[in-house]
Amino acid sequence: MPGLPELNLILLGPPGSGKGTQGERLQEDFRLPYYATGDILRAAVKEGTEVGKQAKEYMDRGDLVPDEVIIGVIAERIQGDEAADGFILDGFPRTVPQAEALDKKMSELRREITAVIRIDVPEEEILRRLGGRRTCEKNPSHIYHVEFDPPKEEGVCDLDGGNLVVRDDDKPEVIKNRLAQYREKTEPLGDYYDERGILNHVDGEQSPDEVEERIHGIIATLRREEEEGM
């Protein structure tokens, strides 16, 4: 078989698991396109692709973009040259029915998901990570963390003296609600992919470098198995 086998990866993990960071690192490390669903959806709308136009109609009406349209956007991307060796998908699927629909589309395209990497982080750690974030009132790109990246003076931005506030998204009740959604709708995906023998867990309480190293280990094992024809 010429070249390396395809690496079609899905990243799973609760909000605050650091999966966006890992997605960007993997994109560089393995030279694979990283598809964060929200980003490729917005790009398809901007470029005015066939499915992008469909998505725009829903978005203009303030409606949720239906699964089949999102899958259409993903399919447009993975049929491109850039994804010939694989891709990293983040943000979709979030539910078992979405995973089933994605599998169906993949088999139409004669592709399959090679591996699912789930970054697990306990809820109290997520609350600590997300709940400790403070954002500058003057410039929302100035972000601090009470524990991991505190400002010199409590509650005051180092750069412009702005007040540091807790954004609505970072309020404990909002975070808990997102986590409950994840538990209810997204966690069952673990079993779905486990039954297919492609689920891999990574302990997300480790540092980003350690998580990255662990993911490299998983991918190296996959490639070795593939070469050995397992």
> 178 an active-site residue?
yes
Q: Is 6 left (phi over 0), alpha (psi -120 to 50) or beta?
A: beta
> 19 an active-site residue?
yes
181 binds Zn ion (CB under 5 A): no
Least spacing, CB of residue 158 vs Zn ion, in Å: 8
| 85/158 with CB nearer Zn ion | 158
- Over the chain, what HEC string results? CCCCCCEEEEEECCCCCCHHHHHHHHHHHHCCCEEEHHHHHHHHHHHCCHHHHHHHHHHHCCCCCCHHHHHHHHHHHHCCHHHCCEEEEECCCCCHHHHHHHHHHHHHCCCCCCEEEEEECCHHHHHHHHHCEEEECCCCCCEEECCCECCCCCCECCCCCCEEECCHHHCHHHHHHHHHHHHHHHCHHHHHHHHCCCEEEEECCCCHHHHHHHHHHHHHHHHHHHHCCC
| 142/185 with CB nearer Zn ion | 142
> 167 an active-site residue?
yes
| 142/223 with CB nearer Zn ion | 142
> Of 19, 77, 118, 134, which is the active-site residue?
19
136 binds Zn ion (CB under 5 A): yes
> Of 42, 56, 94, 223, which is the active-site residue?
94
Binding to Zn ion (CB under 5 A) within 156-175 occurs at 157, 159-160, 162
| 46/138 with CB nearer Zn ion | 138
Least spacing, CB of residue 88 vs Zn ion, in Å: 32
> 133 an active-site residue?
yes
Identify the residue among 42, 111, 142, 185 touching Zn ion (CB under 5 A). Answer: 142
Least spacing, CB of residue 169 vs Zn ion, in Å: 18
> 152 an active-site residue?
no
Residues contacting Zn ion: total by CB under 5 A:
8
By CB under 5 A, name the binding residues for Zn ion: 136, 138-139, 142, 157, 159-160, 162
Residues labelled as active-site residues: 19, 94, 133, 167, 178
